[in-house]
Amino acid sequence: MTLHTRKLMVILSLLLSPLVLASALPDHRVPGGIISLPVAAATDEKPSVMFNSKPVMVVNHDDQWVAVVGVPLNQEQSLTLEVNGETTTATITPYPYEEQHIEIKETRKVNPQKNDMDRIGKEYNQMTPVYKSHSKHLAAQWTEMILPTEGPYSSAFGLKRFFNGQARKPHSGIDIAAPEGAPIIAPAAGKVVLTGDFFFNGNSVFIDHGQGLISMMCHMSRIDVKEGDDIQQGDLIGAVGKTGRATGPHLHWTVSLNNARVNPKLLLRADQPR
Ligand SMILES: [Zn+2]
């Protein structure tokens, strides 16, 4: 590198640094993305922002109210919000998520039996209220997340999935390859709202970060927290495993915002590996 290029790079980094330091809220208007929309307060109180008649996250960021909205993976073209009673429409750009083909030896995990279906139905009824919840007491400010475990990304968010050749729901989180027993930590502060051993997800922990922002960690070999625990960012919650529908030890991490599964990478602190 010549001295000239090096000087140029220093100047460039100085120019860019204020942008990086300001820790902008995520704004990626695609299915599975996040919309951050500054909103005016109608009164002295926090503005009301609704999506599908349900409240969405509103945070105070740099002395400005900002609605932070999860875009469902099946949301196409546009998304309509109600801000202080008035409608606002945001344009959604299509995103070309790739296909992924996976071979599962245990065919029962691909085509569950009748009694498995009963169990899956019960589990769905446990998980759905968690995803739909909107706890007001947490997350007044935006907190950037850290990765819950260390390791290479092994499966991206949003992949259109085929198990043994059969189309299934898109990949609603990210997979991080890590050895069995590797520690899993809380990506952000919150409350443990659900733990259990689920048919597909194996041993799982759900953390409520507040205002409809939920993390789910799956396939764990061990769970070290219990429902009701208040936890801080970085607290140990358990260990990596391969319980449930998994081809090998890894952490599956889902992030849900207003009941929309979003790409967890959009919420990561700038120093985290992408
Ligand atoms: Zn996964």
Q: What CATH number should be reported for the domain holding residue 61?
A: 2.60.40.1590
184 vs 135: CA distance, rounded Å: 24
Q: Which residue has the higher pLDDT, 206 or 40?
A: 206
Which residues lie across from 230 on neighbouring strands?
191
Question: Among 47-56, 98-107, 205-214, 224-233, whose mean pLDDT is lowest?
Answer: 98-107
pLDDT at 127 over 80: yes
Q: Could you tell me if 69 and 111 lie in one domain?
A: no
Q: Which residue has the higher pLDDT, 57 or 11?
A: 57
How many distinct structural domains can be found in the chain?
Answer: 2
Alpha carbon of 30 to ligand 1 centroid (Å)? 20
Mean pLDDT value across the chain = 90
pLDDT at 181 over 90: yes
Q: Could you tell me if 125 and 232 lie in one domain?
A: yes
Query: What range defines the domain where residue 26 resides?
Result: 21-91
What is the predicted pLDDT for the residue at 18?
42
| 15 belongs to a structural domain | no
What is the predicted pLDDT for the residue at 143?
84
Alpha carbon of 50 to ligand 1 centroid (Å)? 29
Alpha carbon of 152 to ligand 1 centroid (Å)? 13
Alpha carbon of 38 to ligand 1 centroid (Å)? 32
Q: Could you tell me if 28 and 164 lie in one domain?
A: no
pLDDT at 50 over 60: yes
Question: Among 2-11, 16-25, 128-137, 209-218, whose mean pLDDT is lowest?
Answer: 2-11
| DSSP strand pairing (190-198 vs 202-210) | antiparallel
pLDDT at 67 over 50: yes
8 Å CB contact between 262 and 32: yes
Alpha carbon of 111 to ligand 1 centroid (Å)? 18
Alpha carbon of 239 to ligand 1 centroid (Å)? 16
Q: What is the mean pLDDT of residues 54-71?
A: 93
What tens digit of pLDDT does each residue of 185-238 get? 999 999 999 999 999 999 999 999 999 999 999 999 999 999 999 999 999 999
CATH at residue 145: 2.70.70.10
Q: Could you tell me if 74 and 104 lie in one domain?
A: no
Alpha carbon of 202 to ligand 1 centroid (Å)? 11
CA atoms within a 13 Å half-sphere pointing along the CA-CB vector of 206 = 25
Q: Could you tell me if 210 and 86 lie in one domain?
A: no
The one-letter amino acid at 75: Q
Give the ranges where the chain is alpha helix by DSSP (H): 3-21, 114-132
pLDDT at 37 over 50: yes
